[in-house]
Amino acid sequence: MKNKIISLFILLTSAVILASCGTIRNANAANSAGKPQDQPTTPTATVDPIDAVIATLGDWQTLQTGGNISLKAGSNFSSSIQVRMVRDQAIFISLRPMLGIEVGRLLITADSLYAVDKVHKRYIAEKVSLLTAGIPVTVSDVQDIFLGRPFLIGKGTLDEALKPQVTCENKGNAIVLSSNENYKGYSYAFSYDKSSRIVSLDIMPQGSATAAYQVKYSDVRATKAGNIAHNINANATIEKKKMSFSLTYKNIEWNGNVKIDRSIPNGYSRMSASSLSSIFAN
């Protein structure tokens, strides 16, 4: 497990944050239908496609769930996890590969990134801007990427007020919602099936109709917070190393009291931003 705990967190953080910045590689995981007991909300066919997607987005304040994550980075690693979120404020992930014992945790706040590796007694504490390359990605955007919800970078989840900033196209069996604003030479779009279930977040070089990078979503279910993807699959290249992850949620609980642990254990050594590249050396 040498270097895998922090590597996992940096991959996960980089993948979800930088999906908006064009660093996600093509994901090959196939999309699957929602489970029968949790059918997604399906608007009527007469509704405008953008309005149909907006209609599937519910409100929420907090989230707590268990799940599993798998990492491929030269070797394979998988673990159970606990995920907690406070909307627009924090994302907390606890890594528990054996018997529910925490071996590491990740915290993303509005402006900071913390990762604690309990196996090697070290931690990272950096500004989120370390990973965003100047793109105004917010913690709300990252939460939407984790949950499979459409958003406009730095402006929040898609709603009626943001609708004029989105273009809708029918492409075969897909409905594609594209942001009218490009970043760093890339545009981004959200693809949906005809039942308004999210299929992918696609990043495209400016002027191209073909996605260069992609995050794929599946097992989309109706919840108290609207349609939520319970499976996320993506590949990424970090420090020239090809890595991939899959994330699966189960038993999501909404709007309860959640604990966000912001502590750094005493006696742990800090890894600086300049040391991050060494994480992927092994």
pLDDT at residue 106 tops 70: yes
Instruction: Average the pLDDT over 131-159 and give the result.
Output: 86
Query: Could you give all domains of the chain from N- to C-terminal order, each with its CATH number?
Result: 4-279 (2.50.20.10)
- Determine the longest span between alpha carbons in the chain, in angstroms: 61
Residues in the chain: 282
Question: How many angstroms separate the CA atoms of 12 and 94, rounded?
Answer: 12
Residue 64 tokens read as 């707590």
The answer to whether the beta carbons of residues 233 and 218 sit under 8 Å apart is yes
Residue-wise burial string across 231-245, b where 16 or more C-beta atoms lie within 10 A, e elsewhere: bbbbbbebeeeebbb
Using DSSP's 3-state secondary structure scheme, residue 93 falls into strand
| pLDDT (mean) for 86-98 | 90
Query: How confident is the model at residue 151, as a pLDDT?
Result: 94
Report pLDDT digits (tens) over 153-189: 889 999 999 999 999 999 888 999 999 987 767 788 9
Share of the chain above pLDDT 90, in %: 36
Which residues are bridge partners to 101 per DSSP? 98
More confident residue, 6 or 201: 201
Angle between helices 139-147 and 4-18 (to 10 degrees): 100
* pLDDT score of 194: 92
State both tokens at 96.
């528990």
More confident residue, 96 or 35: 96
Q: What pTM, to 2 d.p., does this model score?
A: 0.79
Enclosing H/E stretch for 230: strand 226-238
Which has the minimum average pLDDT: 31-35, 178-182, 221-225, 267-271?
Answer: 31-35
Tell me phi and psi for residue 9, to 5 degrees.
Answer: -65, -40
